[in-house]
Amino acid sequence: MASQIQERIGLIQEALREEQLEGWLMYNFRGSNVFATRILDLPPHIMQTRRYFFFIPANGSPKKLVHTIEQYNLDMLPGEKTVYLSWQSLERGLKTILAGVRKVAMEYSPRNAIPYVSSVDGGTLELVRNVGVDVVSSANLVQRFEACWDDEQANDNAETARHLRAIVDATFGFIRQRILSADRVNEYDVQQFMLSEFSRRGLKSEEAPNCSVNANSANPHYEPTRELNSPLNRGDFVLIDLWAKKDKPRSVYADITWTGYIGEAVPAEYTRVFDVVKGGRDAALAFVQRSYASGAEIYGYQVDDAARRFIEENGYGEFFVHRTGHSIGEEIHGNGANMDNLETRDERKVIPRTSFSIEPGVYLPRRFGIRSEIDVYISKSREVIVTGLPMQEAVVPILR
């Protein structure tokens, strides 16, 4: 345990030097900073009812500031300990552990631009700044220690993506069989079929996958339930969105979306919109591929720009109402860079050993919505890998 923590702190210090930061100040109060808890690998049983600070300098030994009645909470971590009791001694202790430091990273985002990592409250930021220390965002540090995969996770993800891609075909086959045999089938039935395939293949998910038919597909976050669902019939448009990971510790998600038409020939309107969505998807992927091939650094917002520009140029920009993609990890929405310059301006770097979705969509209210979702993994050797191949190239005619 001690050697693992020392190794983790060594890696953090290496990252701090690369980012040209003097240190990382982790603050927690009543479990408010999940990143500090996970990155420092704190035991789940410790009480966190009082404020603590843990400072990791770019060079040298860490320093702790803990309250008297919880002064042993960080004893599993290396470094000198300062104990405070009153609010006055808290401020003095903060000055002590930050002596000589001019700038630190904290779980903060200027103007809350990246709310996913902004867990330090404004008053605490004032407290740190009042001791003469500037604060910058730890967003890029967090993703290095929260979003990067090891080889086992990458291999598990590739296998999971292959399963999901097979389940897509099986699901369209299930719909086809039910329609041709004149058996009733609804969105919930399709969802439950996908869940049964998850179980059969050793996969699990935080939430059930989605099947949306016709106008329901125009709601990006629609999900059917046993009580609330729509039937599937000939001539219907169908969107399926499925995400899962292996049923084992530390596994990571795969997440894909496909669309189909319950008929033998896909109507021109669906094809026209799909081609625009596919064009946005491919423009974003091509931007990532070109950038990594040239050795350029890229940021999440730039990937969103590439997809959104194509869709806007083709007349559907107002109907693309969400970000282009999200980070993927042990949680379906991970803690790395999102492909986003709409809901937020994500200026985090897109770094090796992380994964993200590219999933532009066009949603025509009360009619239908089309989304095409792929997953991208950037390997440690900087290879841009699309998992779960082949990608969708046209709306699937389910009854052909």
- The Cβ of residue 317 has, within 10 Å, a number of other Cβ atoms equal to 16
Separation CA 370–CA 393 (nearest Å): 13
CA distances from 108 to 34, 157, 225 (A): 13, 30, 37
Among 206, 194, 207, 196, residue whose Cα is nearest residue 164: 194
DSSP 8-state assignment for residue 391: P
Helix axes 87-97, 122-130, angle to 10 degrees: 60
Q: Which residue, among 53, 69, 77, has the nearest Cα to 125 in the 3D structure?
A: 53
Delimit the domains of the chain by residue range. 2-146, 151-397
Structure tokens at 86: 């009153």
Q: In whole angstroms, what is the distance from residue 377 CA to residue 140 CA?
A: 17
Exposure string (b/e) for 286-295, b if CB count within 10 Å is 16 or more? ebbeebbeee
Q: Which residues of 42-81 are buried (b: 16+ CB within 10 A; e: fewer)?
A: beeeeebebbbbbbbbbeeebbbbbbeebbebbeebebeb
Q: Is 83 exposed, middle or buried (0-12, 13-18, 19+ CB in 10 A)?
A: middle
According to the model, what pLDDT value does residue 260 have? 98
- pLDDT, position 44: 85
Quickly name the fold that domain 151-397 has: Creatine Amidinohydrolase (3.90.230)
pLDDT of residue 78: 96
pLDDT along the chain (400 residues), means of 10: 85 96 97 92 90 98 98 95 98 97 97 92 97 96 96 98 98 98 97 98 97 98 96 98 97 98 98 98 98 97 98 98 98 96 96 98 97 98 98 98
The separation between CA 239 and the C-alpha centre of its own chain, rounded to angstroms, equals 21
Cα(273)–Cα(268) distance, rounded to whole angstroms?
A: 9
How far apart are the C-alpha atoms of 394 and 260, rounded to whole Å?
Answer: 9
Asked whether the beta carbons of 327 and 333 are under 8 A apart, the reply is: yes
pLDDT score of 40: 92
If one counts every other C-beta atom within 10 angstroms of the C-beta of residue 168, the result is: 21
CATH of 2-146, one of 3.40.50.720, 3.40.350.10, 3.10.580.10, 3.30.930.10: 3.40.350.10
The predicted pLDDT at position 305 comes to 98
Task: Encode burial over 319-348: b for 16+ CB neighbours within 10 A, e otherwise.
Answer: bbebbbbbbbbbebebbbbbbbbbebebbb
**CA 193 – CA 45 distance, rounded (Å):** 39
CA-to-CA distance for 336 and 341, rounded, in angstroms? 15
Please say whether the beta carbons of 151 and 34 come within 8 A. no
pTM of the predicted model as reported, rounded to 2 decimal places: 0.94
Is residue 346 within 8 Å of residue 116, measured between CB atoms?
no
Candidates 175, 392, 372; CA nearest to 257 is 372
CB 384 within 8 A of CB 356: no
Alpha-carbon distance values, 185 to 8, 9, 193, 211, 304 (Å): 51, 54, 11, 12, 36
